[in-house]
């Protein structure tokens, strides 16, 4: 098991990757990416049981599905840092002929990605299907998924949540990025979600609240707790309270950086706050 | 002209159900999903024999498409089942992103396509589904003409890697093709030889085309009838070979003339061999309640409509 200080180095480097990727093409979504950095690092460097080579079917390993595909910068950075593809390829983010499309796709054959996402609300259903496949294959590995809180406004989620609870899909850990922000403002103002945990519980899910969604130790501890609660007849939901833009002070606590790139000066400020740890691409 | 015999009326959806039963016994990777329409899809036998490989998702078609995409990630071959309207228009974005763009091996099986669903009316009928599905990159689009062919198609698509839209219907229609036929995806089937006009039909309209051709023969008009069970990829070679011989074509389908088989044929002709064409199809309209036979007559989808279109196209032939 890696010591948290090693993970801290990865987290800081991933933040650098995110702001540099988005800055270079002057497009992309840094806010939610930064807010979920600790989650991705915990998942890929601590939690998931992964095979050394990528296969689409993923039999005999844990699988992750990103439903809110716009936070592709953090996904790509962590996949590259974990060795799924060359780190230098992060240079091609959102450029013509790249495998690193604006939103993740299987179309270009990027190792680590098993479903396209971008049009919101579809990932929970896919994760449920992959979890059912695990059960049919008698494969005891787990399915993890991540969903934005604003994304829960899409009705398909609730079809999937109802199904997973009703049919006891208990090898699934669905994580909600509860940062309270979406493009047009606070989720509370755009379309209030109310008590998300109570809603999942009402659909017969086991729910865990993670107040410190940007504290790597707390994230690891909670995800391990979630893992220990699988296989008990209920799907598990982790509601992870994060800060959009975490780690770059001027991007925090606002929806302004949901889908906006920093200029040269802002990039430098962001990089100064996150000095290079593992080497830039 | 070769005569085709009605071996007895059967619904194409039962051909799908029979195909699923056989797949349940022969292909352990095949799984079935349904959105509360098991009886309509005729998959009771598959479910009885393979309960662990059936997923009842309830009235939640978007979720069904996503679950199907997810099941492929474990190596399974999911066959989704609901009415054609709810298999396509209702879930277009889910099919587009999670299945077609993601290249998932999902078979979207759609019953009650077209007008002949009948009395339920326009909310449950769909005349746009072929167009919606053929516009998706990588999607194969199949519409069998009778029970036997729909069964054969169901078996064939399990062996095809990639997303497929399989369209079939509700009413009982003449079953006339060989029960042991080899179904080749993308291969047109020439049913009769002719020299004056080519009639290209798909689905229920193939039988109507054959009836029209027999009747035309008695009037001294020689029609070549081609069954296009695979609308995409289209067998352009077979289409062009026939039309280069006859010099004109009538296309017939239970679909809007916009976006259907007829438009695919028209594109082939304008690109390779311009020739007069008439469309037997619905004319950019929604359907309505009625019996299948009444609707076929009112909306011009029967053998009389095919004959009329042949007279028209012959007038325009150079």
Whether A228 has its CB under 8 Å from any CB of chain B: the answer is no
B31 and A CB contact within 8 Å: yes
Q: Which residue of B has its CA nearest to A163?
A: B57
Considering just the CA atoms, what is the radius of gyration of chain A in Å?
Answer: 17
Residue A221 CA to residue A231 CA, distance in Å, equals 18
Across the interface, whether the CB atoms of B70 and A136 are under 8 A apart is answered no
Q: Which residues of A touch B62 (CB under 8 A)?
A: 121-122, 125, 155-156, 159
Domain A4-272 adopts which CATH fold? Rossmann fold (3.40.50)
The pLDDT > 90 percentage for chain B reads 99
Low-confidence ranges of chain A (pLDDT < 70): 1-3
Q: What is the pLDDT of residues B161-214, one digit of tens each?
A: 999 999 999 999 999 999 999 999 999 999 999 999 999 999 999 999 999 999
Chain B nearest-CA distance from A159, in A, is 6
Q: Is the peptide bond before A244 cis (omega within 30 degrees of 0)?
A: no
What proportion of chain B, given as a percentage, has pLDDT over 70? 100
pLDDT at position B1: 85
In this structure, the strands spanning A185-186 and A181-182 are antiparallel
pLDDT (mean) for B297-317: 97
Classify domain B10-173 by CATH number: 3.40.50.970
Q: Are A183 and A255 in contact (CB under 8 A)?
A: yes
Please say if B237 is a catalytic residue: no
The H-assigned helical ranges of A90-244 are 123-136, 156-166, 187-191, 196-202, 216-228
Contact A122, B98 (CB under 8 A): yes
Q: Which residues of B touch A159 (CB under 8 A)?
A: 57-58, 60, 62-63
Count of Cβ atoms closer than 10 Å to residue B244 Cβ: 12
pLDDT in tens, A52-62: 999 999 999 99
The residue among B53, B56, B66 with the most chain A CBs within 10 A of its CB, best to mutate, is: B66
Cβ within 8 Å of residue B180, ≥6 positions away: none
pLDDT tens digits, one per residue of B60-92: 999 999 999 999 999 999 999 999 999 999 999
Q: Which residues of A touch B73 (CB under 8 A)?
A: 56-58, 63, 114-115, 126, 129-130, 133
Per the confidence metrics, is the pTM higher than 0.80? yes
Burial of A27 (0-12, 13-18, 19+ CB in 10 A): middle
Spatial CA neighbour of B24 closest among B40, B42, B41, B47: B47
Q: How confident is the model at residue B158 (pLDDT cuts 50, 70, 90)?
A: very high
A107 touches chain B (CB under 8 A): yes
Query: Which residues of chain A from 136 to 195 reach within 8 Å of chain B, CB to CB?
Result: 136-137, 139, 155-156, 159-160, 162-163
* Active-site annotation holder among B44, B61, B237, B312: B61
Name the band, by pLDDT with cuts 50, 70 and 90, for residue B221.
very high
Q: Looking at CA atoms only, how far is residue A51 from chain B in angstroms? A: 15
B189-312: CATH, from 3.40.50.300, 1.10.540.10, 3.40.50.920, 3.40.50.1220 = 3.40.50.920
Compute CA distances B153 → B161, B177, B186, whole Å: 14, 12, 11
Tell me the chain A residues in contact with residue B69 when contact means C-beta distances shorter than 8 Å.
115, 125-126, 129
Q: pLDDT of B265-290, one tens digit each?
A: 999 999 999 999 999 999 999 999 99
Closest residue, chain B, to A115 (C-alpha): B102
Listed by start position, the domains of chain A span 4-272
| Cβ of residue A126 closer than 8 Å to a chain B Cβ | yes
Q: What are the residue boundaries of the structural domains of chain B, listed by start?
A: 10-173, 189-312
ipTM of the complex: 0.96
């Amino acid at each position: 098991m890696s010591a948290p200080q090693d993970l801290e180095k990865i987290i800081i480097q991933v933040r650098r990757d995110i702001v540099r990727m988005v800055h270079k093409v002057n497009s992309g979504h840094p806010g939610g990416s930064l807010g979920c950095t600790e989650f991705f690092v915990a998942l890929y460097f601590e939690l998931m049981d992964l095979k050394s080579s990528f296969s689409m079917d993923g039999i005999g390993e844990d699988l992750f599905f990103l439903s809110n595909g716009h936070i592709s910068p953090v996904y790509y950075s962590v996949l590259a840092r974990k060795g799924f593809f060359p780190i230098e390829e992060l240079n091609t983010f959102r450029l013509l002929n790249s495998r690193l499309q604006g939103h993740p796709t299987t179309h270009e054959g990027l190792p680590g990605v098993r479903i396209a996402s971008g049009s919101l609300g579809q990932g929970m259903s896919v994760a449920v299907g992959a979890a059912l496949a695990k059960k049919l294959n008698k494969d005891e590995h787990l399915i993890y998924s991540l969903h934005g809180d604003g994304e829960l406004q899409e009705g398909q989620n609730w079809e999937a949540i109802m199904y997973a609870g009703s049919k006891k899909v208990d090898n699934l850990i669905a994580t909600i990025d509860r940062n309270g922000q979406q493009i047009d403002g606070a989720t509370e103002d755009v379309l209030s979600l109310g008590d998300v945990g109570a809603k999942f519980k009402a659909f017969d899910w086991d729910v865990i609240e993670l107040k410190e969604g940007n504290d790597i130790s707390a994230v690891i501890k909670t995800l391990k707790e979630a893992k220990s609660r699988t296989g008990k007849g209920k799907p598990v939901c982790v509601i992870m309270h994060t800060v959009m833009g975490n780690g770059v002070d001027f991007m925090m606590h606002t929806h302004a950086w949901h889908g906006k790139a920093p200029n040269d000066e802002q990039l430098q400020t962001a990089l100064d706050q996150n000095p290079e740890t593992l080497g830039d691409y | 002209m070769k005569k085709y015999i009605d071996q007895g009326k059967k619904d194409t959806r039962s051909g799908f159900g029979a195909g699923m039963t056989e797949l349940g016994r022969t292909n352990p990777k095949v799984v079935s999903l349904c959105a509360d329409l098991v009886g309509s899809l005729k998959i009771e036998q598959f479910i009885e024999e393979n309960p662990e490989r059936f997923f009842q998702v309830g009235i939640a078609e978007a979720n069904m498409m996503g679950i199907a995409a997810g099941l492929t990630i474990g190596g399974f071959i999911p066959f989704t089942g609901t009415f054609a309207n709810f298999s396509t228009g209702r879930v277009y974005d889910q099919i587009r992103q999670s299945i077609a763009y993601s290249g998932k091996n999902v078979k979207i099986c759609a019953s009650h396509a077209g007008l002949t669903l009948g009395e339920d009316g326009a909310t449950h009928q769909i005349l746009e589904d072929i167009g919606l599905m053929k516009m998706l990159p990588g999607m194969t689009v199949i519409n069998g003409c009778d029970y036997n062919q729909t069964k054969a198609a169901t078996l064939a698509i399990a062996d095809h890697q990639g997303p497929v839209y399989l369209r079939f219907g509700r009413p009982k229609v003449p079953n006339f093709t060989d029960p042991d036929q080899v179904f080749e995806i993308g291969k047109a089937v020439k049913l009769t030889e002719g020299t004056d006009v080519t009639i290209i039909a798909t689905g229920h309209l193939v039988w109507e085309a054959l009836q029209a051709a027999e009747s035309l023969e008695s009037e001294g008009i020689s029609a070549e009838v081609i069954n296009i069970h695979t609308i995409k990829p289209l067998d352009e070679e077979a289409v062009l070979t026939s039309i280069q011989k006859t010099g004109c074509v009538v296309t017939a389908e239970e679909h809007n003339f916009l976006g259907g088989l007829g438009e695919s044929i028209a594109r082939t002709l304008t690109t390779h061999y311009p020739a007069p064409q008439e469309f037997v199809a619905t004319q950019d309209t929604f359907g309505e309640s009625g019996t299948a036979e009444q609707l076929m007559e009112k909306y011009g989808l029967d053998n009389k409509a095919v004959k009329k279109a042949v007279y028209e196209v012959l007038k325009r032939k150079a």
